[in-house]
Structure 1
Amino acid sequence: MDSYLDATANLYREAAIKPDVGLCCTTNPMNVLPGLEIPKIMQEMNYGCGSIVSARDLSNSPNILYVGVGGGMELLQFSYFSRRTGGVIGVDIVDEMLNVCSNNLTEAEQLNPWFKRDFVDLRSGSALDLPVEDNSIDIVGQNCLFNIFKEGDLKQALSEVYRVLKPGGRLVMSDPICDTLMNEQLRNDDRLRALCLTGALPLNDYLKAVTDIGFGTIEVRARRPYRIIAPSHYQTDELLYIESVEICAIKDPMPADGPCIFTGKAAIYFGDEEYFDDDKGHVLLSNQPLAVCDKTAANLASIGRADLFISSSTWFYDGGGCC
C-alpha cells in the first residue's frame, strides 16, 4: 500500500478509536427526516464535507453502496429510503471503523423503531477493489474520500464505481476542491492529504476525472466554503481557498459531443414570440428560465440573439431543464 494510503488508514483508525469532532465538518445542516433519530456518536463521527443523501435519488427502495463508512450516519440516512435487509452496503478498509460503525448502528436501532440493524451490510474492502458485483447498485455514495486519492488511484476508484453501478445508476459524492494549484510539498504531505486538504483538485480537473471514466451526465448540486490553507500555518507562499463540491454523476451513455455537465446555468428567452426553438431539442417559453447544461448554454450563446439571456453558473442544480 502507498504511504499516503497507510497514513489515511492510520488516521481513520485513530478517529474510530477516539472520535475527532473537528476532523472534518459538513458545511450545511444534516438532513432532518421525519422519524429519524441520529445517535450523538454518529454526529461526532460525521467525517464528511457535504451532504449527499437526497430523496430525489432514492425512490423505489434502491440498492445503495456507501464507500468509507465513518460513524454510520449516512448509512442510517440511506437506510431510511431502503428499509429492507441488505438494502444498504457499507464498505471500509479500516476494521476498527467497521466495528465502531456496527455498534453505532445497533444504537440507532434502539432509537428508531423503523430501523433494523440488518438493513446495513458492512463489508471489509477497498474503494480500489469494491467487494460488490457488476451492475448491481443503483446509488453509490462517498463523502470526503476520493479527494484523498492520487491520480491513478482516483481513476481506479471511479472505475470501480462505474463497474458496480447499474445503467442509469448514480454516484453521489462530496469532496474538497481548490482552483489554485498547490505546491508539491503540500500535495506530497501524506497526513495533510489524509486530512482531506491537499488532495483537493481544481473543479474542472475533478469533473474531467469523472467524465473520463464514462459518466455521461454530471450535476453540480452545491459548492460551498470549506477551509483555508494559510502561509502562517502551512508550507505555502500563498493563501489557498478550499471549497467543498457536491455532485451527482449519472451512468448515462456518453453523448457524441461530450458529457452534459450542469453547473446551474439557465437560458431565458424574452423576445416577442411565444417561444424560441433552436431546432436542436431546446424550446424556451417566453420569459421562463430553462436549466441547461454548460454545453447547451455555450451553443445558445453562440447564436448571438439579443433576446436570449444565458446566466452564469450558480453552482447549484436541482434537476429539470434540458441538455
Structure 2
Amino acid sequence: MDGYNETIATNADVRSDVQDRYGAGAKEFEAALCCPIDYDPQYLKIIPEEVIERDYGCGDPSRYVREGDTVLDLGSGGGKICFIASQIVGPEGKVIGIDMTDDMLELSRRIAPVIAERVGYANVEFKRGHIEDLKTDLDALNSWLAKNPVKSAGDMERMEEEILRIGQDMTMVPDNSVDVIVSNCVLNLVSDSKKKQMFAEMFRVLKVGGRVAVSDIVSDEDSSESLKNDPRLWSGCISGALREDEFCTALEEAGFHGVFVDKFEYEPWQIVEGIEYRSATYLAYKGKHGPCFEKNQAVIYKGPFRQIKDDDGHTFMRGVRSAVCAKTFDLLKREPYADLFYFVEPAVEVTETVDFQNNCSVRRRDPQETKLGKAKITSDPSQREESCC
C-alpha cells in the first residue's frame, strides 16, 4: 500500500478546494461530480427535488441499512442518503449525517423537518465536522471561537486545548455508538495524510458487530504526483482515490474483518492518463477481537475452494471438521461468513472457561471431542415403524 502510507505534502489539506466545489454544487448541479445511480424509487417520493438534484454519489450504500439501525453517513452532503435511511430504519432508528460544507449543511438541515413531517417522525440530525475527526463538533468549536478569537500564538494554544476538550467532553460521535457507517463517494476527498486516521475513526465509533458499507471511487493504478497536485482532479473524486486493493488493506489495517467487494463497475467512470477510475462498494465488519475459549465446537467449510484463510490466519480445508474457539465459531455464524460453513455444536454444552490451545490455530476436530460426555448408543433402524433408508 505504497500510496496509502505516504504523507504527500502537496495535498496535506485539500479541504478548501473540496468545500469551494461542493459549496457551488449545493447551489447549482454539477454533472462531473457524480455517477448515474438507480435508487429504490419508493424512498425518493418524499424527498424534495432540490436534494435529489444535488446528490453527488457513485453508489447506493443505503441498501445495506436495516430497520432500527443507528446510521452514520460520512459526507452527507444535501442529505439524500440520510433521508432514504431515515425511512428504512423507522422511528426506532437514528440517522446522523456529518459534513463540513456550509451550503450542503444549510440544504440538508432545512429539508430535515420537511422529511420528518412526511414520514411522521424525526430521526435525522446533521452535524458539522470532518469525517477524519469524528470527535470534534465544529459547531461547538465555532461557538467558542466567536467568543475567543485567535489573534496570537497564545490564543492558538488555547484553541488547541479547547479542541481537545470538545473531543473529550462533547464527543460528536461517541465510541461504539453506530450500527452501520455509510458513505457515498466522499472518502477519496480526504487528504492522503489523513486517510489512515479516517479509517481508525470509523472503527472507533462502530459498535461491536457493526458494519461499514461505503461506495467510493477507486483506481486500478496509483495516481501520479501531477494528478495529486491538481486541485480540480482531487475535488472531482479522481486523484484522491485509493487504489482498489489499497481500499481493502486500509480497512484491514484499521481492524475490520470480513472485507468484501460487493460492487465493482467494470466500465471506468473516468480515465485520466491511462488510469481507470471506477465506482466500487466495500463492506466490512467490526468485532473479531476477544478471548479464545474451548467449547468443543467445530465448523465444516463447504467449498468450492480446496481451502480458504480468514483474516486471523485460520486455514479451513474443504469438508474437514475444523476445531475453532467459541469466539471464531460465533463470528463465522454471522455475516458475511455464515453461508460458507456448517456448524457443529458439542453434544454436551461446555460451561467451564478453558483457554483454546495451539494459539487459536485451526486443526481437525476429532468427533470424539464433539461427542464428549454423551453416552455411546446404537440406533437400530429396524425398531422403527418405517425405515428412513
Name the TM-score class by shorter chain. 0.7 to 0.9
Structure 2 distance, partners of 1:7, 1:294, is 42
Corresponding residue for residue 229 of structure 2: 188
Map 1:1-323; keep pairs closer than 5 Å.
2-26=12-36, 28-33=37-42, 36-54=45-63, 57-59=65-67, 61-84=68-91, 87-109=94-116, 113-116=118-121, 118-130=122-134, 131-224=172-265, 225-230=267-272, 236=273, 239-253=274-288, 281-284=299-302, 320-322=338-340
Q: Which runs of 5+ in 1 are unaligned?
A: 231-235, 257-278, 304-316
| Cα pair distance change 1:115/1:199, threshold 3 Å | farther
Q: Which amino acid in 1 is paired with 2:105?
A: L
Task: Tell me if the contact between 1:140 and 1:171 (Cα under 8 Å) persists in the aligned partners.
Answer: yes
Query: Residues 136 and 40 (structure 1 numbering): CA distance in 2 closer, same or farther, change over 3 Å?
Result: same
1:133 counterpart SS class: coil
CA deviation string 1:111-154 (max 9, x = no partner): xx3254x3211111111221211111111111111112233311
Please tell me the root mean square deviation across aligned C-alpha atoms, in Å: 3.2
Post-superposition Cα deviations, 1:37-85, rounded to whole Å, max 9, x if no partner, equal 3322222111111110125x413x1111111112211001110122338
Change (3 A) 1:97 1:53: same
Whether the aligned pair in 1 keeps the contact of 2:308 and 2:317 (CA below 8 Å) is: no
Q: Secondary structure at the match of 1:37?
A: coil
> For each residue in 1:234-293, what CA deviation from the matched residue of structure 2 results, as whole angstroms up to 9, or x when unmatched?
xx3xx222111101111121699xxxxxxxxxxxxxxxxxxxxxx983343xxx969x97
CA distance in 1: counterparts of 2:85 and 2:189, whole angstroms: 23
Count of matched residue pairs: 270
Structure 2 vs 1, CA of residues 107 and 154 (structure 1 numbering), >3 Å: closer, same or farther?
same
In structure 2, what is the Cα distance between the partners aligned to 1:152 and 1:180?
Answer: 19
Distance 1:252 1:15 in 2: 38
Distance 1:167 1:42, change over 3 A: same
| Cα contact 2:86–2:93 (8 A) shared by 1 | no
d(CA) in 2 for partners of 1:197, 1:243: 9
Whichever structure has more helix as a proportion of its residues is: 2
The code of the aligned residue for 1:100 comes to L
Structure 1 pair 255/36, CA: closer, same or farther in 2 (3 Å)? Answer: farther
Relative distance call for 1:87 and 1:204 in structure 2 (3 A) is same
Letter aligned with residue 276 of structure 2 = Y
Larger C-alpha radius of gyration, 1 or 2? 2
Instruction: Name the CA distance, whole Å, in 2 between partners of 1:320 and 1:85.
Output: 27
The residue type paired with residue 124 of structure 1 is R
Please give the alpha-carbon distance, in whole angstroms, between the structure 1 residues aligned to 2:338 and 2:78.
34
Say if 1:81 and 1:280 are closer, same or farther in 2 by CA, change over 3 A: same
CA contact under 8 A between 1:86 and 1:120: conserved in structure 2?
no
Please tell me the residue identity of whatever aligns with 2:194.
D
Deviations 1:192-228 (A, max 9, x none): 1111011122211111011101002212110013422
* Contact 1:79 1:115 (8 Å CA) reproduced: no
